[in-house]
Amino acid sequence: MKITRQKHAKKILSFYKNNFNIVPPYNVLVDGTFCQAALKHKIQMKEQLPKYLMGEVQLCTTRCVLKELESLGKDLYGAKIIAQKFQVRHCAHSTSPVSGTACILSLVADDNSRHYFVATQCSQLNSLCSERDRILIRTGSGQKEDFLSAQAQI
């Protein structure tokens, strides 16, 4: 299973490299749902994601994602601690924060010029990113080996 998934990721990544010149370090925008899932599966994103994507990874998030996690209280405290360690990317909502989903969507809108990958478990964000042909990273529910799956419309 692990090999299959890595092959799948490799295929996607080489497509993006050849067609859009997307090369490491990969910018991975992580939302609160993904942090929560990583926590649940006891996965160290910093270690696992570069292995899975076979290249250097820059984990990042936004202030809106952090605000949202903060507002959700103690159930999401662990996820917030994880997200706080990531690089915070600038968004246009510094005076009036929006939902994590809306914020991440705004960063990958138009031509996604920063070549963000989106790491999420949110089904809404998932389908909206799929519509826009963004590279998605999701978590599985099974073993550690099944943790990650990348998806792209190619």
In the complex, least distance from residue 28 CB atom to Zn ion, rounded to whole angstroms: 17
Q: How far apart are CA 26 and CA 49, in angstroms?
A: 10
- Torsion, CA 26, CA 31, CA 35, CA 36, rounded to 10: -150
Applying CB under 5 A, does 105 fall inside the site for Zn ion?
Answer: no
In the complex, least distance from residue 13 CB atom to Zn ion, rounded to whole angstroms: 27
In the complex, least distance from residue 104 CB atom to Zn ion, rounded to whole angstroms: 8
| Structure tokens, 25 | 């370090």
Stretch that binds Zn ion, among 8-16, 62-70, 74-82, 115-123 (CB under 5 A): 62-70
Residues 6+ apart with CB under 8 A from 67: 97
Applying CB under 5 A, does 91 fall inside the site for Zn ion?
Answer: yes
In the complex, least distance from residue 54 CB atom to Zn ion, rounded to whole angstroms: 30
Query: Rounded to the nearest 5°, which phi and psi values hold at 135?
Result: -80, 125
- Judged by beta carbon, residue 53 or residue 105, the one nearer Zn ion is 105
Applying CB under 5 A, does 103 fall inside the site for Zn ion?
Answer: yes
